[in-house]
């Protein structure tokens, strides 16, 4: 979501004559797009921002802005923390960036804008792909109404708001015209897409519509909430050819007690049923998830249930986090907080078990042939190209740059933890 917000800012600033640079010393404008979902992300933002202080002393005309969740949360208080800042704007104000920058340029005065708007206009900013990219993000909804007890998102991104189906379709058509082959439909809770749009029967309708757009070969979506993953949506994995066989379905915990206290409204049994349904409809589906360890009150027994659930599901990949207390969320008031040491131990257990499962799932692909959408040269070797399987696994193989943007069959010869090695079978048009 944040990456896409940054792309939209680049697009808007391009209209004002700004160009991107990889060299921070050359920049006339720096915007930090921040996340505050966990404390670690917040600290990272502060330390990056701190580095700009010296830069501003050397280059007084440099404009420094901060956006995203942390900006939304602190607003004008940010100026106290970082007096060299020029601009603070929140998650609902991206569309106003050109106007805010012009104001700073002309008046040299600070701007702060963190108000929420009923209709998030920045949802409709078309961020055209940079040269050569083959994938793009398309926001379909933003905000969240779920208020999981640990999470700041509903407070910082506001309530759920879905874009009109036709606007999304038009945007995907425009991206296809610019050579995009793969779109990822984005939202905090895409499964509840359409609940705020009259006359739209929801996310499965959207998937089918986008699935019919010429030029787009692959569709992905993220993120899903298990309670809103309907049969209709699950069936799309069989019915919409371009929908890739991958779902990110955060479970957060395997303990019913903890899931309940997290305010997630499903049980571990419900989750396992969804996994079974997904695998029945789409046997090769890759399933990834998020898990939080050390939520307040999580006992050894609760934690063991998370491990048991992981053993049952055997995720293809997992993002795991230590519970991080966030101001303003309900869980701040929960007792029986878990110590940092215990959180660390539990995280270690989850991560090493996941490594075993990821490797096992990747190895199951060895010897088979996968359709790989080629993105370009590999990071480490210029004789290799890299692409992704439909299940979203990275594959490196010998090939030349002219197959970038094409889907080619690749035989998987070796599986690693973070990628696969393969050999081109033959090049399709
Ligand atoms: N502490 C730890 N992890 C969190 N997440 C969200 N809020 C917190 C928090 N307070 C994790 C969840 C979510 C992912 C995006 O971040 O697992 O799915
Ligand atoms: Fe946060 Fe829960 Fe909404 Fe996800 S569904 S953004 S975890 S409140």
Q: Specify the pLDDT at position 121.
A: 66
151 Cβ closer than 6 Å to some ligand 2 atom = yes
Does residue 383 surpass a pLDDT of 70? yes
- 193 near 203, Cβ under 8 Å? yes
Q: What SS3 state is found at 65? A: strand
Q: What is the mean pLDDT of residues 38-42?
A: 83
Residue 4 to residue 7: CA distance in whole angstroms: 5
Confidence of residue 342 (pLDDT cuts 50, 70, 90): very high
Distances 91 to 33, 151, 154 between C-alpha atoms, Å:
10, 16, 11
- 317 near 288, Cβ under 8 Å? yes
* Neighbouring C-alpha atoms within 13 Å toward the C-beta of 98: 13
Please give the mean pLDDT across all residues of the chain: 92
Q: What SS3 state is found at 291? A: strand
46 Cβ closer than 6 Å to some ligand 2 atom = no
With the most atoms of ligand 1 within 8 angstroms of its CB, the residue from 37, 227, 263 to mutate is 37
The class (CATH top level) of 128-244 is: alpha beta
Q: Specify the pLDDT at position 429.
A: 47
What number does CATH give the domain 2-113? 3.40.50.12160
- Ligand 2 centre distance from Cα of residue 180 (Å): 29
Strand order in the sheet with 63-68: 29-34, 63-68, 87-89, 111-113
- Ligand 1 centre distance from Cα of residue 10 (Å): 27
* Least confident interval from 85-94, 241-250, 333-342: 85-94
With the most atoms of ligand 2 within 8 angstroms of its CB, the residue from 141, 153, 258 to mutate is 153
Residues in the chain: 429
Strand order in the sheet with 286-293: 246-248, 286-293, 317-322
Q: How does pLDDT run across 150-171, given as a tens digit for each residue?
A: 999 999 888 998 999 999 999 9
Confidence of residue 136 (pLDDT cuts 50, 70, 90): very high
Confidence of residue 392 (pLDDT cuts 50, 70, 90): very high
Q: Which residues pair with 394 in a beta bridge?
A: 388
**Is 369-424 a CATH 3.90.1150.10 domain?**
no
- Ligand 1 centre distance from Cα of residue 292 (Å): 7
Domain boundaries, the chain: 2-113, 128-244, 369-424
With the most atoms of ligand 2 within 8 angstroms of its CB, the residue from 41, 150, 189, 263 to mutate is 189
Between residues 428 and 420, which one has the greater pLDDT?
420
- Inter-helix orientation angle 165-177/203-211, to 10°: 30
CA dihedral 159, 160, 165, 169 (to 10 degrees): 90
Q: What is the pTM of this model?
A: 0.91
Question: How many other C-beta atoms are found inside a 10 Å radius of the C-beta of residue 223?
Answer: 17
Which tokens is 349 given? 């257990």
Angle at CA 214, nearest 5°, toward 390 and 126?
85
- 15 near 126, Cβ under 8 Å? no
CA 67 vs. chain centroid, Å, equals 17
């Amino acid at each position: 979501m944040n990456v896409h917000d940054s792309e939209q800012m680049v697009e808007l600033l391009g209209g004002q004559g700004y160009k991107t640079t990889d060299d921070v010393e050359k920049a006339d404008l720096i915007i930090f797009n921040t996340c505050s979902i966990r404390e670690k992300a917040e600290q990272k933002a502060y330390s990056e921002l701190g580095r700009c202080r010296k830069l501003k002393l050397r280059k007084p005309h440099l404009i420094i802005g901060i956006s995203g969740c942390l900006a939304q949360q602190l607003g004008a208080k940010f100026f106290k923390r970082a007096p060299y800042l020029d601009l603070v704007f929140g998650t609902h104000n991206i569309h106003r960036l050109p106007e805010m920058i012009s104001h700073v340029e002309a008046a040299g005065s600070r701007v702060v804008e963190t108000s929420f708007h009923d209709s998030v206009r920045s949802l409709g900013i078309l961020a055209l792909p940079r040269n050569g990219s083959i994938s793009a993000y398309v926001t379909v909804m933003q905000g969240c109404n779920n208020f999981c007890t640990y999470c700041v998102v509903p407070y910082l991104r506001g309530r759920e708001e879905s874009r009109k189906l036709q606007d999304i379709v038009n945007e995907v058509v425009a991206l296809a015209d610019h050579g995009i082959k793969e779109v990822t439909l984005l939202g905090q809770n895409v499964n509840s897409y359409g609940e705020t749009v009259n006359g739209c029967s929801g996310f499965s309708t959207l998937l089918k519509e986008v699935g019919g757009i010429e030029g787009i070969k692959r569709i992905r979506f993220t993120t899903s909430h298990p309670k809103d993953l309907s049969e209709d949506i699950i069936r799309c994995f069989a019915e919409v050819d371009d929908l890739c066989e991958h779902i990110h379905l955060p479970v957060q915990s395997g303990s019913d007690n903890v899931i309940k206290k997290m305010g997630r409204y499903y049980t571990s049994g419900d989750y396992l049923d969804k996994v079974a349904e997904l695998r029945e409809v789409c046997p090769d589906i890759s399933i990834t998830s998020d898990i939080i360890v050390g939520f307040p009150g999580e006992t050894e027994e609760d934690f063991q249930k998370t491990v048991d659930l992981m053993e049952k599901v055997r995720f293809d990949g997992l993002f795991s986090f230590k519970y991080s207390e966030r101001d303003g969320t309900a869980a701040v008031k929960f007792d029986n907080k878990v110590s940092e040491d215990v959180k660390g131990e539990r995280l270690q257990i989850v991560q090493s078990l996941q490594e075993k499962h990821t490797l096992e799932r990747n190895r199951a692909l060895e010897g088979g042939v996968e359709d790989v959408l080629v993105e370009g040269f590999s990071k480490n070797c210029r004789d290799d190209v890299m692409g992704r399987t439909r299940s979203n696994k990275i594959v490196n193989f010998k090939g030349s740059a002219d197959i970038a943007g094409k889907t080619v069959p690749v035989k998987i010869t070796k599986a690693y933890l973070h990628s696969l090695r393969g050999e081109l079978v033959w090049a399709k048009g």
